């Protein structure tokens, strides 16, 4: 192996979105030497793109809100498949995480009496999303970055070096986790660090560390129409798999109901749910508010049955039920899909979303509440949303499945010293995430991951070891392989075909035959990706970067397709045309994916089933028995007269 740059830390956090930064702040606050490594520029992460807000039951706008209501909404949104302990911790701790942000300098929008304002969002019973216009993620990242700078200033004063205990490495892609054998762990190994390359120079680098926190976000780039940007190639999920940590519930992919559908160059870009939270309605080509026809039985009692009641709810939530445009995302996405299929779509294959005449303050209020949406449509589609309807349709947005983690510590069960938080981790959101619950998830579990990674690194102390040279050599050889192949495949072509396959065959509505065909195509694409070659040198070579990302996308997409084929029911983000009903038996099943042989030439995924841990009795008591019967098996229901 060539001479390689080496860094040594106690905790290495991979990913600089909300989860990664919150984890890094926690590890450093505990006095440990911490590195943050990110693939893109520091500050450029999905978190920054989050628009609507952070869900936390502070009760500022409706004092009836509290953690129990938030917990219930989250479980209902996820159709009871959620890891209930994560949902409980999340609901309890989210308000503290928002207060903490404020104490670190975040400037949230205010209520008339000066408290942090909270807005309505799909699936949340009360106004719950703390927000900054429609640019909440930007404020969240700005605040966390500011906190990092404050900690670095402390270190400057104490050690004369601002990066003594917290350093950010940007534009560095990690391609492998490094491990050492450990008989005490499930997978037989523990973390020793991470291997990656600098995107600009193409040079390799090694981070030696006993604890790694994965916070790399989503997988959207495996699909053709997506709100995700270029970094989201499932890297963290694949890194965990390759190190021996399983992924769970990968069949649950969220298709956000409202992405732009026109012009083609911006297809998939997100149209925030706050448009509907602030009064926007969905119309078909016949001008009908069609969502009233799509309220599923499980939600019938909670949603308005007439337009009048739905409209009254915006000003009087005590005496009216919410409009069905605010159903959980999976329901709205399926409804739009059905309208388009029935020939009632908009000219470019979506439906209409309008805020015109829907806000008392007219044009001015629209521009104040939805500044980014106003500019997005004006600049990208030449549509003035204060005067015209938007055209929108489903877009692949978020993955509910992810790395299996312990709910309290964020530790992965497979590999000692490996932690995961944020979108890359699975369990919290069950089969469907509620809007706003991601930003709060990042802060709650980012903090927990940072804390427990730091504790582990402290405990391991002198027993920490570096990875064997052969592992570094293998990681380098793997990364250089695209320069060595003859009669090369074009990585861009393989990527396009992968995206088309996932969109067409494992998309919003799924069928057995199509998913089986997807798996055959994925096998072929795997063989072609192994021959994906690039020309030129290693200095900023995007073709090479994509060739390396293909391994991750193919692995993760195989997990999605295999799990989706296996789960014979429809629930949340997983809709089977051939199994349209939700099954109480299947709710108890956790599907886990692991790699058969991480050192094999061709990697393949193994699927196993395990049983979900039954919900604690005191949490079950938060629901009416009638509601529980819609989700749980008879055996799981609390006592007959309970
Ligand atoms: P991210 O913020 O996605 O950050 C991932 C980090 O990992 C990045 O720094 C990236 O460079 C790095 N990385 C990835 N791979 C590697 C690698 N191999 N090596 C090194 N670094 C790597 N949620 C809400 O709750 N409310 C909202 O209003 C909302 N709006 C959204 C709007 C849009 C357009 C999108 C796309 C998402 C939105 N979401 C929202 C979802 C939410 O933003 C994301 O789920 C969340 O930000 C994910 O945060 P994270 O910290 O897990 O990862």
Tell me the per-residue pLDDT of 315-346, one tens digit each, with 9 for 90 and over. 998 899 999 999 988 899 999 999 998 999 99
Average the pLDDT over 283-287 and give the result.
96
Q: Among candidates 433, 352, 516, which has minimal Cα distance to 52? A: 433
Catalytic (active site) residue 367: no
- The residue whose two tokens read 């990242």 is 141
In a domain, 625, yes or no: no
Nearest CA, atom 26, ligand 1: 436
Spacing, Cα 49 to ligand 1 middle (Å): 8
Per the CB < 8 A criterion, the answer to whether 320 and 309 are in contact is: yes
pLDDT, residue 192, reads 98
Rounded CA gap, 67 and 58, in Å?
A: 8
**Does the pLDDT of residue 445 top 90, yes or no?**
yes
**Does the pLDDT of residue 209 top 60, yes or no?**
yes
Q: In this structure, are 303 and 426 located in the same domain?
A: no
Catalytic (active site) residue 305: yes
Q: In this structure, are 353 and 445 located in the same domain?
A: no
Model confidence band, residue 622 (pLDDT cutoffs 50, 70, 90): very high
pLDDT higher at 488 or 397: 397
Q: What CATH number is associated with residue 173?
A: 3.50.50.60
What tokens does 605 get?
A: 């995924």
Phi, psi for 32 (deg, rounded to 5)? -90, 150
Q: In this structure, are 281 and 230 located in the same domain?
A: no
- What is the Cα gyration radius of the chain? 24
pLDDT, residue 2, reads 65
pLDDT, residue 495, reads 98
pLDDT tens figures, 245-254: 999 999 999 9
- The residue whose two tokens read 């491990």 is 179
CB < 8 Å & 24+ apart, contacts of 509-512: 509/334, 509/337, 509/575, 509/577, 510/564, 510/574, 510/575, 510/576, 510/577, 511/576, 511/577, 511/578, 512/565, 512/576, 512/578
Paired sense of beta strands 418-420 and 211-214, if any: parallel
Count Cβ atoms within 10 A of the Cβ of residue 108 and give its class: 0-12 exposed, 13-18 middle, 19 or more buried.
Answer: buried
Average the pLDDT over 635-642 and give the result.
68
Q: Which atom of ligand 1 is nearest to the CA of 174?
A: 19
What tokens does 621 get?
A: 């008591």
Rounded CA gap, 96 and 418, in Å?
A: 26
What tokens does 276 get?
A: 């509907």
Spacing, Cα 328 to ligand 1 middle (Å): 20
User: Total domain count for the chain?
Assistant: 3
Model confidence band, residue 497 (pLDDT cutoffs 50, 70, 90): very high
pLDDT, residue 42, reads 94
Q: What CATH number is associated with residue 379?
A: 3.90.700.10
Sheet holding 253-260, edge to edge: 253-260, 390-399, 351-354, 281-283
pLDDT, residue 51, reads 83
Q: Which one of the listed residues 22, 119, 190, 329 is annotated catalytic?
A: 329
Q: In this structure, are 31 and 98 located in the same domain?
A: yes
Q: Where are the alpha helices (DSSP H) in 370-489?
A: 371-381, 437-460, 469-484
**Does the pLDDT of residue 641 top 50, yes or no?**
no
pTM exceeds 0.80, yes or no: yes
- The residue whose two tokens read 């193994």 is 606
Packed helices 437-460 and 84-103: angle between N→C axes, nearest 10 degrees: 90
Nearest CA, atom 28, ligand 1: 52
Q: In this structure, are 224 and 313 located in the same domain?
A: no
Average the pLDDT over 215-239 and give the result.
96
pLDDT tens figures, 49-81: 998 899 999 999 999 999 999 999 999 999 999
pLDDT higher at 566 or 51: 566
In a domain, 165, yes or no: yes
Of the residues 26, 209, 438, which should be mutated to test ligand 1's pocket, given the most ligand atoms within 8 Å of the CB?
438
In a domain, 611, yes or no: no
Q: In this structure, are 99 and 223 located in the same domain?
A: yes
State which of 472, 500, 525 marks the end of a domain.
472
Per the CB < 8 A criterion, the answer to whether 620 and 638 are in contact is: yes
Q: What is the helix (H) or strand (E) element at residue 382, kind and residue range?
A: none
pLDDT, residue 463, reads 87
Q: Which atom of ligand 1 is nearest to the CA of 40?
A: 11
Q: What CATH number is associated with residue 486?
A: 1.20.58.100
**Does the pLDDT of residue 3 top 80, yes or no?**
no
In a domain, 568, yes or no: yes
Q: Where are the alpha helices (DSSP H) in 361-401?
A: 362-369, 371-381
Q: In this structure, are 205 and 83 located in the same domain?
A: yes
Spacing, Cα 113 to ligand 1 middle (Å): 33
Rounded CA gap, 121 and 135, in Å?
A: 15
What tokens does 134 get?
A: 């429609």
**Does the pLDDT of residue 87 top 90, yes or no?**
yes
Q: In this structure, are 271 and 357 located in the same domain?
A: yes
Rounded CA gap, 492 and 541, in Å?
A: 13
- The residue whose two tokens read 């601002």 is 162
Spacing, Cα 452 to ligand 1 middle (Å): 22
Does the bond joining 263 to the residue before it have cis omega, within 30 degrees of 0? yes
Q: What is the helix (H) or strand (E) element at residue 149, kind and residue range?
A: helix 136-159
Model confidence band, residue 360 (pLDDT cutoffs 50, 70, 90): confident
In a domain, 204, yes or no: yes
State which of 472, 502, 525 marks the end of a domain.
472
Per the CB < 8 A criterion, the answer to whether 261 and 392 are in contact is: yes
Spacing, Cα 461 to ligand 1 middle (Å): 32
Model confidence band, residue 568 (pLDDT cutoffs 50, 70, 90): very high
Nearest CA, atom 6, ligand 1: 15
Spacing, Cα 458 to ligand 1 middle (Å): 29
SS3 label, residue 590: strand
Residue 193 sits at the vertex; the CA angle it makes with 189 and 197, to the nearest 5 degrees, is 130
pLDDT, residue 206, reads 98
* Percent of all residues in the chain with a pLDDT value above 90, rounded to a whole number: 87
**Does the pLDDT of residue 415 top 50, yes or no?**
yes
Give the contacts of 396 (CB within 8 A, at least 6 positions apart).
220, 223, 225, 226, 227, 228, 253, 254, 255, 256, 268, 503, 507
Nearest CA, atom 29, ligand 1: 50
Strand-pair partners of 418: 212
Q: In this structure, are 248 and 107 located in the same domain?
A: yes
Rounded CA gap, 569 and 573, in Å?
A: 11
- The residue whose two tokens read 């900023």 is 540
What tokens does 19 get?
A: 């989860």
Range of the domain at 324: 257-395
Spacing, Cα 394 to ligand 1 middle (Å): 19
pLDDT, residue 187, reads 67
Paired sense of beta strands 351-354 and 390-399, if any: antiparallel
pLDDT, residue 307, reads 95
In a domain, 608, yes or no: no
Q: Which atom of ligand 1 is nearest to the CA of 442?
A: 51
Residues with CB under 6 A from ligand 1: 14-20, 37-40, 45-47, 49-53, 136-137, 173-174, 215-217, 227-228, 231, 235, 270, 398, 422-424, 435-439, 442
What tokens does 599 get?
A: 């050192």
Q: Among candidates 547, 521, 519, 520, which has minimal Cα distance to 533? A: 547
Sheet holding 54-55, edge to edge: 54-55, 129-130, 118-119
Rounded CA gap, 339 and 335, in Å?
A: 6
Average the pLDDT over 277-284 and give the result.
94
Rounded CA gap, 571 and 589, in Å?
A: 12
Mean pLDDT, rounded, of the chain: 94
Nearest CA, atom 24, ligand 1: 436
Give the contacts of 99 (CB within 8 A, at least 6 positions apart).
58
**Does the pLDDT of residue 443 top 80, yes or no?**
yes
Per the CB < 8 A criterion, the answer to whether 242 and 224 are in contact is: no
In a domain, 116, yes or no: yes
**Does the pLDDT of residue 640 top 60, yes or no?**
no
pLDDT tens figures, 456-484: 999 998 889 999 999 999 999 999 999 99
The per-residue DSSP string of 594-633 comes to EES-TTSSS--EEEEEEEPPPPPHHHHTTS-HHHHTTTS-
Packed helices 362-369 and 371-381: angle between N→C axes, nearest 10 degrees: 90
Q: In this structure, are 79 and 200 located in the same domain?
A: yes
State which of 535, 560, 586 marks the end of a domain.
586
Find the Cα–Cα–Cα–Cα dihedral 311, 317, 319, 322, rounded to 10°: 50
In a domain, 594, yes or no: no
Rounded CA gap, 187 and 531, in Å?
A: 30
- The residue whose two tokens read 């992460």 is 45
pLDDT, residue 642, reads 39
Q: Which one of the listed residues 305, 606, 609, 616 is annotated catalytic?
A: 305
Q: In this structure, are 33 and 153 located in the same domain?
A: yes
Packed helices 542-566 and 512-529: angle between N→C axes, nearest 10 degrees: 150
* Percent of all residues in the chain with a pLDDT value above 70, rounded to a whole number: 99
Q: In this structure, are 282 and 335 located in the same domain?
A: yes
């Amino acid at each position: 192996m060539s001479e390689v740059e080496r860094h040594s830390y106690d905790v290495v956090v991979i990913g600089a979105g909300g989860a990664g930064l919150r984890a890094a702040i926690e590890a450093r606050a505990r006095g440990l030497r911490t590195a943050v490594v990110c693939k893109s520029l520091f500050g450029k992460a999905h978190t920054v793109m989050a628009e609507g807000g952070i869900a936390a039951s502070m009760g500022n706008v409706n004092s009836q809100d509290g953690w129990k209501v938030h917990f219930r909404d989250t479980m209902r949104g996820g159709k009871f498949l959620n890891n209930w302990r994560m949902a409980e911790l999340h609901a309890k701790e989210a308000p503290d995480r928002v207060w903490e942000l404020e104490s670190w300098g975040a400037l949230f929008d205010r209520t008339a009496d000066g408290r942090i304002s909270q807005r309505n969002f799909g699936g949340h019973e009360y106004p719950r999303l703390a927000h900054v216009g429609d640019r909440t993620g930007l404020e969240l990242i700005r605040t966390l970055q500011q906190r990092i700078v404050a900690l670095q200033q402390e270190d400057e004063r104490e050690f004369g070096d601002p990066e003594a205990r917290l350093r950010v490495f940007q534009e560095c892609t990690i391609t492998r986790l490094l491990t050492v054998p450990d008989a005490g762990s499930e997978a037989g190994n523990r973390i020793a660090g991470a291997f990656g390359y600098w995107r600009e120079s193409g040079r390799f680098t090694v981070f030696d560390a006993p604890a790694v926190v994965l916070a790399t976000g989503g997988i959207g780039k495996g699909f053709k129409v997506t709100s995700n940007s270029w970094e989201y190639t499932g890297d963290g999920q694949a890194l965990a798999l390759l190190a021996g940590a399983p992924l769970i519930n990968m069949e649950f992919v969220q298709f956000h109901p409202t992405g732009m559908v026109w012009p083609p160059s911006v297809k998939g870009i997100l149209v925030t749910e706050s448009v509907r939270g602030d009064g926007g309605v969905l119309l078909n080509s016949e001008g009908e508010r069609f969502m009233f026809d799509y309220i599923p039985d499980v939600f019938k009692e909670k949603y308005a049955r007439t337009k009048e009641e739905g409209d009254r709810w915006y000003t009087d939530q005590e005496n009216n039920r919410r409009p069905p445009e605010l159903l959980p995302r999976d329901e709205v996405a399926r409804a739009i899909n059905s309208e388009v299929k029935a020939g009632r779509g908009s000219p470019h294959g979506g439906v209409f979303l309008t805020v015109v005449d829907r806000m008392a303050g007219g044009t001015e209020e629209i521009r104040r509440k939805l500044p980014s949406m106003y500019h997005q449509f004006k600049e990208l589609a030449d549509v003035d949303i204060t005067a015209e309807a938007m055209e929108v349709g489903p877009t692949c947005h978020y993955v509910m499945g992810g790395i299996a983690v312990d709910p309290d510590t964020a530790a992965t069960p497979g590999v000692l010293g490996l932690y995961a938080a944020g979108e890359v981790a699975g369990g919290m959101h069950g089969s469907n995430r509620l809007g706003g619950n991601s930003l709060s998830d990042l802060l709650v579990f980012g903090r927990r991951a940072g804390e427990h990674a730091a504790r582990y690194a402290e405990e391991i102390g002198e027993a920490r070891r570096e990875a064997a040279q052969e592992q570094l050599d293998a990681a380098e050889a793997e990364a250089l392989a695209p320069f060595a192949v003859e009669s090369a495949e074009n990585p861009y072509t393989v990527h396009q075909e992968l995206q088309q396959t996932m969109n067409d065959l494992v998309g919003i509505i799924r069928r057995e035959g199509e998913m089986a065909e997807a798996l055959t195509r994925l096998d072929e694409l795997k063989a072609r990706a192994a021959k994906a070659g690039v020309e030129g040198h290693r200095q900023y070579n995007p073709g090479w970067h994509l060739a390396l990302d293909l391994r991750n996308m193919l692995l993760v997409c195989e997990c999605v397709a295999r799990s989706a084929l296996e789960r014979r029911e429809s629930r949340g983000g997983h809709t089977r045309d051939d199994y349209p009903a939700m099954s109480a038996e299947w709710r108890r099943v956790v599907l886990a994916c692991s790699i058969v042989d991480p050192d094999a030439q061709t990697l393949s995924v193994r699927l196993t089933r395990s049983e979900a841990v039954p919900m604690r009795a005191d949490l079950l008591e938060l629901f009416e028995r009638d509601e529980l019967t819609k989700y749980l098996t008879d055996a799981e229901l609390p006592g007959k007269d309970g």
